[in-house]
Structure 1
Amino acid sequence: MKKLSFLLLLTTALHFVAIAQQAVPYENEIKAFEEQDKTTPPPKNAILFTGSSSIKLWQSLKTDFPDKVVLNRGFGGSKLTDVIHFADRAIIPYKPKQIIIYVGENDVATGTVTAQEVHDRFVTLFTKIRKSLPKTPIVFISMKPSPSRRKYLPITIEANKLIKDYLAKQSRADYLDIYTPMLDATGQIRGELFRADSLHMNPKGYEVWTEKLKPLLK
C-alpha cells in the first residue's frame, strides 16, 4: 500500500511539473533548439537572429545572406518579455559575432502597454545581453507597419522612436528603420509585402528587410 501511495504521489508530482513547464510560453521551442544544438552543434561566431515570428519565419535567411554565417533563433509570437526570459538559453550561450533583434510588435498588439513600457522592456533586454556580451554588436530592426494592426501604429511609431533615441547613445548598436521602406510614396502600408493574414511577411517583404540590413551585418 505504501509503495502504491508513493507511486501515485510521484506520478501526480511529475504531472504537475509537466503542466508547469508547458505553462511557460515557448518553453518547448527553446527546448527544441537545445536538442538541435546537441545533435548539430551551432556554428561559432555566427550572426544570431532572435525575436518573434518575423524572425522565425525568415526561411530564406541563409540564402539572403550567403556570405554570412547566420543562426535563426526566433520563436513563436514572442514578446520582449519572452525574449528577456529566454536570453540566457537562446541568445547568450551562442556567443555570436552579432545579434539582430526583431521584437516588440506583439507587446504593442496586446493593447495593454504604452510606448514607454515597450522601450523599457527593450532596455532590459539590451542591458541583459550587454552584461554577458559587452562587445557584441546589436542591431534592432524597427517594428513594422502590419496592416492588421493599424490601430496600434501610433504606439508602434512612438516606441520605435524611443528605442531609436536610446540606441543612438549606445556603442556598437544600430537601429534599422524598416517601417518607412514598407510604406509607399503616399505613406500607405505596402500591402503587397504581406501574406494574406496582413501580419506576416511574404518573400517580397523579406527582400525589403534584406536590402536594408545587409550594410549593417558584420
Structure 2
Amino acid sequence: MKFSPVKAWLFGLFASLLLAGCASQPAQVAAPRVPEQVSNAEWAADMARFAAEDAVHPPPRGAVLFVGSSSIRLWKTLAEDFPGVAVINRGFGGSEIRDSTWYADRIVVPYKPRLIVFYAGDNDIANGRSPQQLHDDFLAFVRRVRRDLPSVPIAFVSCKPSPSRAHLLDAQREANALIRAEAAKQKRVVFIDVFTPMLDANGQPRAELFVGDRLHMNAAGYAIWRDAISPYLRSTPP
C-alpha cells in the first residue's frame, strides 16, 4: 500500500508520538526471586508501609539509620537510648542480610544517612545459610550501599546469641569472625561485637536479657546494644 506524501508524514508523526508515549511509561520492576534474591516475598508489604510512613512524616536527612531484622524493628526506645541523635528505624522482622541489600533503594539510599547501623544474620543462620554465605551477603550489602553512598560509614552489629538458638552458637561465632575480618578490610566499615557481652561465664546466652520467647531482647539486652553502639554515633558527627 502506498501513501501520499502528506499521509506518509502523518503516519510517521503518529508512530513517533506512540513510541514516545510508550517510552515515557515507567518500567515495570520485576518482583525479586525467592530465595535467590530475597528470603520472603512478603517484605514488599513492609516496603509499602515504610513508603506510606515517609509520605506522612518525611524522615530527616543526615540521620543515623538503623536497618535490619526484628531486633531493630522491636527497638522501641531507640530515640530515647540515643538522645540528641536523629534516628530512623527501618527494621523488618524476620529479614536476612540479603533482604536489606535488595531493598536498599527503598530503605537505605533515599534517607542519605550519616551512619548506617545494620543488624541481620541471626535469622539467616536459623534458616540454613552458612557462615560463608553470611560473609558474602554482608559484602554484597556493603558494595550495594557504596554504589550510591560511597562515603557513608557502616556499623555492622554482630549476630547475637539467644537461648532459643543456643544450638547455633558455633555457626554464629564463625560468621561473626568472617564478617569481622572482612569489615577490617573495608573503608568506613566497623564491626560491633554484641555477641561476647551477651554470654554468661559458661559461654551461654544470658537468659535475663530476653523476653519470654527467649529470642528477642528486653530492656537489659538493648542496654548492652546501646552501650556498644554509642561510641560509633559520637565518632560520626552530623
User: Taking structure 2 as the reference length, what is the TM-score of the superposition?
Assistant: 0.80
Whether 1:37 and 2:54 are equivalent positions in the alignment is yes
Unaligned runs of 5+ in 1: 1-19
- Out of 133, 152, 175, the position equivalent to 2:191 is 175
Matches within 5 A, 1:3-152: 24-111=41-128, 113-152=129-168
> Which whole-Å CA distance do the structure 2 matches of 1:188 and 1:91 have between them?
34
- What SS does structure 1 have at the residue aligned with 2:152? coil
Number of positions where the alignment pairs a residue of Structure 1 with one of Structure 2:
197
> Which whole-Å CA distance do the structure 1 matches of 2:203 and 2:137 have between them?
28
Q: Residue type matched to 1:117 in 2? A: Q
Give the conservation status (yes or no) of the 8 Å contact 1:46–1:71. yes
Whether 1:196 and 2:212 are equivalent positions in the alignment is yes
- What SS does structure 2 have at the residue aligned with 1:73? strand
- Cα distance, 1:185 vs structure 2: 2.7
Higher mean alpha-carbon deviation, 182-191 vs 33-42, is at: 182-191
- Cα distance, 1:82 vs structure 2: 1.3
* Counterpart residue number, 1:156: 172
- Cα distance, 1:80 vs structure 2: 1.4
Question: Which digits, 9 at most, give the CA deviation of each residue in 1:5-52, with x for residues without a partner?
Answer: xxxxxxxxxxxxxxx79x722111111110111111101100000000
Question: Which digits, 9 at most, give the CA deviation of each residue in 1:134-159, with x for residues without a partner?
Answer: 00000000000011111211111101
Give the conservation status (yes or no) of the 8 Å contact 2:162–2:206. no
> Which whole-Å CA distance do the structure 2 matches of 1:30 and 1:93 have between them?
13
User: Taking structure 1 as the reference length, what is the TM-score of the superposition?
Assistant: 0.87
> Which whole-Å CA distance do the structure 1 matches of 2:107 and 2:198 have between them?
29
Aligned identity (percent) is 47
Give the conservation status (yes or no) of the 8 Å contact 1:26–1:76. no
Give the conservation status (yes or no) of the 8 Å contact 1:25–1:82. no
> Which whole-Å CA distance do the structure 1 matches of 2:200 and 2:131 have between them?
24
Give the conservation status (yes or no) of the 8 Å contact 1:49–1:99. yes
Unaligned runs of 5+ in 2: 1-30, 33-39
> Which whole-Å CA distance do the structure 2 matches of 1:54 and 1:115 have between them?
20
